[in-house]
Amino acid sequence: MINRIPAKDFIEQSQSTLVIDVRSGKEYDQGHIRRAINLPLFNDEERAIIGVLYKNSGREASVLKGLELTGPKLTDFVKKLHSLTDNKKVLVHCWRGGLRSESMAWLFSLAGYQVSLLEGGYKAYRRFIREEFSKQARIILLGGMTGTGKTELLRLLSKKGEQVIDIENIACHKGSVFGGLGQSDQPTNEQFENNIFDEWKIMDPSKIIWMEDESRTIGNISIPDPLFEQMGRAPMVKVETGLAERITRLVKDYSGFEKYALNEALQKISEKLGGTNTKAAMAALEAGDFTKVVELTLAHYDKAYAYSLFKREKSKIHAVLLEARDDDKNVSLILQTGKSIL
C-alpha cells in the first residue's frame, strides 16, 4: 500500500517511522532530513549518466537505462530495508517526489511494507521548514560581550526546563575566528538549516524560546533568513560581568589549543586589530601570555558587539548584571527578566 502525504505529516511520522532517502549520495550529503537513511536508487555516477541521457535522448531512453541499472539491485534494496526495521511501515522520498521514490515505494510495497511518500519530495520539505521559521514564536535572545558565558547560561536554562535552541552547538562553531577550534566539521548550510528545524519543530511557540544573540554568519554557514529576521525583532536579555572575569573565562577556554592554530586565527582579524596590536598579540602568544592575547582581541570584539547593539531597538535590550560564581542566582535573574518582557 502506497500513500502520498504532505511535508507536515511526513515530518510528524518520521519521529517513529524509518525514513528512506533514495537520492544519490552526493545529494544526501548536501542536506537531508535528520535520521533519514540513504538508500540511493542510483549512485552519483549512475544519476549523471541518466541525466545526460534524458537531456540528449528523452524520457523513454532514460527510463530504460534506469531499469537496466536498478534491476540487479532490487533484491539488495529489500534485504537492506529488512535489516533496518522490523516495522512494516516506511517513509520514502526523493528530490521532487517523482520516479525514483515511486519506484522504490512500489518495490517496498511489493515486499509487504506500507509506504508513505513525501508529496513534492525533499524540495517540498525544504520549502516547508523555511515557512515554519517564519511563524511567530516567543523568542528571547541571550546577549552579552564575548566571554560572559552565554553558552553555559543557555545550558543552565535548559537544565531548568526552559526551551533552548543552541545555534552555535548546531553550527559546530562558537562564532568568532577562534570559534572553530576544538569543534567537529561544520555541516553544509543546507544541513545546518535542517538541523535547526529538528530542534525548532519540538518547541512550543506559546512559551519562551531562548537563543543566543548571533551574527547572521557563524563560521562558514548562515542562519536561515526567516529565522534570523525573527531573531532581529526579538527582545534581548543582555548579561554583563566584569572584564577580569571575562578574560579569565576566555583564557581557560582557549589557552589549551596549539599556538599555531591560535596564530592562524589572529591572522584572520589582523586588519581589524591593526598592525601594532596584531604584532603585540602574536608576541604575547609566543611568550605564552594568553591574558595579554585576550585583552588585545577583546578590544576588537567589544567594539564590534557594541556596534551590533547600536543597530537594535534600545527598548528591547534588558541588562542583567551577573553575580560572580553564583549560577543559580544568575539563572534566576535571567528568567525573572525574561518573563517580565514577554
- H or E stretch including 320? strand 317-321
List CB contacts of 11: < 8 A, sequence separation 6 or more. 33, 125, 128, 201
Quote the crossing angle between the two packed helices 290-310 and 243-254, to the nearest 10°: 120
* Long-range contacts from 311-315, C-beta under 8 angstroms, 24+ separation: 312/232, 312/236
> Is 94 annotated as catalytic?
yes
CA nearest neighbour of 162 among 342, 324, 338, 319: 338
Count the helices and strands in the chain (H runs, E runs). 17, 12
Q: With residue 271 as reference, give the H or E element that holds it.
A: helix 270-273
Q: In what order do the strands lie in the sheet with 317-321?
A: 163-165, 208-212, 138-143, 236-240, 317-321
Among 94, 129, 139, 221, the one annotated catalytic: 94
Cell of 219: 563560521
**Residue 197 is which amino acid?**
F
Concatenate the DSSP letters of all residues of 227-253 into one string. HHHHHHHS-EEEEE--HHHHHHHHHHH
Residues paired with residue 92 on neighbouring β-strands, in sequence order: 20, 117
Of residues 292, 124, 304, the one with CA closest to residue 217: 304
Known catalytic residues? Answer: 94
